[in-house]
């Protein structure tokens, strides 16, 4: 009896669903297909543009701070892609628009990098010693062992002489999220599409990359997890690490050649779109604190520049720890 009542109730709900009161214009299948293709193309071109910007801004940060990174690797300034680099629903379009397939191909080349100077081109396939496509995200030590990189370009196989440089061993990645955000996990530095849209200059983007690099170099992920466990879930213990990432991140940005002038204004702009963080400080410091701390760090760096001093963060030494 109960089952019959549920079936009857479901039928009544379905028959009672409201309908439209207007007659919508018809859309032809060809028009829909054409508009879908147009939007996919524009979306992928934006991804391509964001990837180029991220690599070109991040490359100087990664090589200028290699001596301060606990993890380094040889690099020549390229980013590869395959179809799996894209969301499933965009993979067909990525093949059509960006030439992606199942083989890792060079997708971006950093301006002024060893790859750019040596003559690498977009679409090149980097080969391993066996003549197979190499996963350069993991195999650079082997590929660059003799400073000669074999590539496949169309139907040709070429040997290109190139000397890699030391770079921080953290991959720069894009997320399709529209949230204004960036994060580090100890291996990668990820920026969202929302953050790429929000930043107004290479300087601001370098600031964000520097901040996330700071999380990785200072071991914050491990420390945050440890503090969270010891404090039984206390999120306030993450805030000092955010402040430290702001601090060392600005140094990383300046060491890469970016000007620190007015860079703290980023937090005033962000406050306009996320005003609750003006007074809220849960896992991250409140925006006014971050603005003032960054301004103070900028003044510290500018004083060192004026004095001709090396541009290094003021690390706490073991001696000073024991004295305090």
pLDDT digits (tens, 9 = 90+) for 98-134: 999 999 999 999 999 999 999 999 999 999 888 889 8
Angle (CA) 185-263-214 rounded to 5° is: 20
Predicted local distance difference test score (pLDDT) of residue 8: 56
Task: Say if 212 falls within a structural domain.
Answer: yes
Number of domains making up the chain: 2
Pairing verdict, β 156-161 and 148-153: antiparallel
Predicted local distance difference test score (pLDDT) of residue 323: 44
Are 131 and 244 part of one and the same domain?
no
The pTM of the full predicted model, rounded to 2 decimals, is 0.88
Alpha-carbon gap, residue 204 to 57, rounded angstroms: 10
Task: Say if 266 falls within a structural domain.
Answer: yes
Contacts made by residues 145-154, CB under 8 angstroms, sequence distance 24+: 149/76, 150/126, 151/120, 151/124, 151/125, 151/126, 151/127, 152/124, 152/125, 152/127, 153/121, 153/123, 153/124, 153/125
Task: Say if 131 falls within a structural domain.
Answer: yes
Alpha-carbon gap, residue 91 to 24, rounded angstroms: 32
Predicted local distance difference test score (pLDDT) of residue 15: 57
Predicted local distance difference test score (pLDDT) of residue 316: 87
Predicted local distance difference test score (pLDDT) of residue 319: 43
Are 275 and 226 part of one and the same domain?
yes
Task: Say if 182 falls within a structural domain.
Answer: no
Are 161 and 203 part of one and the same domain?
no
Are 58 and 124 part of one and the same domain?
yes
> Which CATH number goes with the domain that contains 129?
2.30.42.10
Are 128 and 219 part of one and the same domain?
no
Last residue of a domain, one of 129, 146, 168: 168
Are 161 and 48 part of one and the same domain?
yes
Task: Say if 225 falls within a structural domain.
Answer: yes
Task: Say if 258 falls within a structural domain.
Answer: yes
Instruction: Give the residues of the chain that fall short of pLDDT 50.
Output: 319-324
Task: Say if 60 falls within a structural domain.
Answer: yes
60 lies in which domain range? 43-168
Last residue of a domain, one of 114, 149, 168: 168
Tens of pLDDT, residue by residue over 157-212, are: 999 999 999 999 999 999 999 999 999 999 999 999 999 999 999 999 999 999 99
Are 129 and 229 part of one and the same domain?
no
Predicted local distance difference test score (pLDDT) of residue 225: 64
């Amino acid at each position: 009896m109960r089952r019959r009542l549920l079936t009857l109730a479901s039928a009544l709900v379905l028959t009672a669903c409201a309908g439209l009161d207007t007659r919508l214009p018809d859309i032809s299948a060809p028009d829909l297909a054409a508009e879908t293709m147009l939007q996919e193309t524009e979306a992928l071109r934006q991804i391509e543009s964001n990837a180029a910007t991220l690599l070109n801004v991040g490359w100087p940060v990664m090589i200028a701070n290699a001596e301060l990174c606990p993890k380094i690797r040889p690099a020549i300034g390229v980013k590869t892609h395959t179809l799996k680099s894209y969301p499933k629903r965009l993979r067909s379009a990525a093949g059509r628009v960006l030439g992606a397939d199942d083989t890792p191909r060079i997708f971006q080349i950093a301006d002024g990098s060893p790859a750019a100077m040596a003559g690498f081109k977009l679409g090149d396939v980097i080969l391993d010693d066996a003549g197979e496509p190499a996963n350069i995200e993991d195999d650079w030590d082997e590929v660059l062992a003799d400073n000669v990189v074999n590539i496949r370009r169309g139907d040709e196989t070429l040997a290109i002489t190139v000397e890699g440089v030391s770079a921080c061993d953290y991959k720069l990645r894009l997320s399709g999220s529209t949230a204004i955000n960036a994060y580090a996990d100890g291996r990668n530095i990820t920026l969202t599409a929302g953050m790429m849209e929000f930043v107004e200059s290479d300087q601001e983007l370098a600031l964000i990359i520097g901040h996330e690099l700071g999380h990785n170099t200072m071991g914050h992920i491990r420390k945050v997890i440890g503090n969270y466990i010891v404090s039984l879930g206390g999120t306030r213990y993450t805030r000092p690490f955010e402040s430290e990432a702001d601090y060392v991140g600005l140094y990383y940005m300046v060491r890469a050649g970016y000007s620190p002038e007015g860079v703290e204004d980023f937090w005033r702009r962000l406050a306009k779109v996320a005003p609750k963080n003006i007074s809220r400080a849960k896992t991250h410091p409140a925006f006014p604190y971050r603005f003032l701390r960054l301004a103070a760090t900028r003044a510290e760096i500018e004083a060192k520049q004026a004095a001709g001093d090396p541009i290094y963060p003021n690390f706490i030494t073991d001696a000073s720890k024991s004295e305090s």
